[in-house]
Amino acid sequence: MFLTTALTFIIIFSLLIFLHELGHFLTARRFGVRVIEFGFGLPARLIGVMRMNGTWKVVGSSYAPQEQDPTIYSLNWIPFGGFVKLYGEDKVDEEQGKGSIARAPAWQRIIILSAGVAMNVLFTIALFSVGFMTGTPSVIEDDLSSRASLRDVRIQIVEVIPNSPASAAHIALGDTIRAVNGVRVDSIQEFQNTIRSMEGSSLTLTLESDGARREVSVKPEKLPEGGGVPLVGVGLIRTGVVSYPWHLAVYEGIRSTYYLAQRLIQTFIAILIKLITTGSTQAVISGPVGIAVLTGEVVHLGFLYVVQFAATLSLNLAILNYLPIPALDGGRVLFIFIEILRGRAISRKLESVIHTVGFALLLLLIVFVTYRDVLRYGAEMLQALKSFIG
């Protein structure tokens, strides 16, 4: 399981970053900006190739690109993500040669810098669309299209009220209610009606968790949260694997991406406001270690959940990368808009310093978040590693 989780994490993350950089690469080439190197993985370079005079030339790790060289396509030692190095992006002098991104019109630079985010958004749509074609785990709403196909429909517990009959019976989040008194339950309304009719009497719930079934005995009670109605004390949702014909699946993929983006942006804004106003936040922010742990949990659930997780991660990467923070794509686009408003560019030397400082701060944040992830998940990861070795 450890090896499967590690490979899945590396594949997903590398693919997302690779597609992001591919967006920069394709648009830069389209606008005539010279791409010095397009690398798979992170430096140092293991090996590279470039097409020169109709033939492919192999270059090693020590080769320094020359002014007249075509793009080097490289495989790097750290098999994680990728990068695109554009001519002119690291220069601080105002004089740039032909093919420099610094000499491209502002609108072209905005497109080039935004293309990576666009690729991640398109990949999210593609994953959701494929998921809806083959079947994706979803909460089943009342307005679900009649064209949708359902399978593995279940009533799942998403909340257990403290000091309730459910809490006393050790009912847990994620449990699936399969039957009440031996009678199969297929809807929340059906379950609620049964509970209300059983006031004062004990009933037996058949629950399922991780493929194992168990039975618990509970007695509905009138709780403060119930307005005088007998309750077991659980919050429920109806879930199932939903699939659509291909044309509706694409529409649902676009719609799901839009609504997920809305929720993510609202969450980021809420976290930012909380940080500014109180100096702290209750949100749990995860770095690479935390994401790796989440990957293991998703792998355990199955392939359909891995697809959903990859789609969500791709959209997260897109939104985070487009925040107006120095060193990120959004920060670089912000400088271009400032240039447009001022009528002239900010000193490239000053901009370079700002992006360097921003990058250093981002690295510090990653180190801090990773440290917290290690504290939170270290014992769990160590146990998984021991199981793998042993």
Q: Is residue 35 in a domain?
A: no
pLDDT of residue 137: 80
Q: Is residue 99 in a domain?
A: no
Q: Domain end: 227, 243, 259, which one? A: 243
pLDDT at 388 over 60: no
pLDDT of residue 289: 65
Domain with residue 182: its CATH number is: 2.30.42.10
More confident residue, 107 or 387: 107
387 shares a domain with 312: yes
* pLDDT tens track for 48-99: 999 988 899 999 988 988 878 899 999 998 877 788 999 888 665 544 678 8
Q: Is residue 283 in a domain?
A: yes
Give the model's confidence band at 29: pLDDT under 50 very low, under 70 low, under 90 confident, else very high: very high
pLDDT at 384 over 60: no
Q: Is residue 22 in a domain?
A: no
331 shares a domain with 250: yes
φ, ψ of residue 294 in degrees (nearest 5): -60, -35
266 shares a domain with 192: no
345 shares a domain with 329: yes
| pTM for the model | 0.79
pLDDT of residue 33: 93
Structural domain range at position 185: 149-243
Query: Collapsing DSSP states into helix, strand and coil, what is residue 245?
Result: coil
Query: Of 32-36, 242-246, 282-286, 340-344, which range is least confident?
Result: 282-286
Q: CB neighbours of 284 closer than 8 A, spacing ≥ 6?
A: 290
347 shares a domain with 259: yes
More confident residue, 24 or 196: 24
340 shares a domain with 197: no
pLDDT of residue 227: 64
pLDDT of residue 331: 92
Name the pairing type of β-strands 55-59 and 35-52. antiparallel
373 shares a domain with 260: yes
Q: Is residue 298 in a domain?
A: yes
Separation CA 137–CA 146 (nearest Å): 17
More confident residue, 188 or 289: 188
Q: Is residue 290 in a domain?
A: yes
Q: Is residue 9 in a domain?
A: no
280 shares a domain with 171: no
Burial class (CB in 10 A: 0-12, 13-18, 19+), 268: middle
More confident residue, 139 or 61: 61
Q: Domain end: 226, 243, 260, which one? A: 243
More confident residue, 145 or 330: 330
Average confidence (pLDDT) over 272-282: 71
290 shares a domain with 205: no
Q: Residue 198 to residues 194, 201, 223, 230: CA-CA distances in angstroms? A: 6, 5, 15, 8
192 shares a domain with 178: yes
pLDDT at 267 over 60: yes
Please count the other Cβ atoms lying within 10 Å of the Cβ belonging to residue 309: 20
pLDDT, averaged across the chain: 83
Separation CA 147–CA 374 (nearest Å): 46
Q: Domain end: 228, 243, 258, which one? A: 243
Query: Of 186-195, 307-316, 318-327, which range is least confident?
Result: 186-195
Instruction: Tally the domains of the chain.
Output: 2
pLDDT of residue 40: 87
In eight-state DSSP terms, residue 64 is P
pLDDT at 248 over 60: yes
Determine the angle formed by the axes of helices 303-321 and 288-301, rounding to 10 degrees.
150
H or E element at residue 292: helix 288-301
pLDDT of residue 258: 95
pLDDT of residue 379: 66
Q: Is residue 268 in a domain?
A: yes
Average confidence (pLDDT) over 246-271: 89
Contact of 85 with 112, CB cutoff 8 Å: no
Separation CA 268–CA 266 (nearest Å): 6
pLDDT at 323 over 80: yes
The top-scoring range by mean pLDDT among 104-113, 222-231, 350-359 is: 104-113
pLDDT at 235 over 60: yes
pLDDT of residue 150: 83
373 shares a domain with 303: yes
352 shares a domain with 224: no
Query: Of 38-42, 140-144, 147-151, which range is least confident?
Result: 140-144
Single-letter amino acid code for the residue at 206 = T
Give the model's confidence band at 340: pLDDT under 50 very low, under 70 low, under 90 confident, else very high: very high
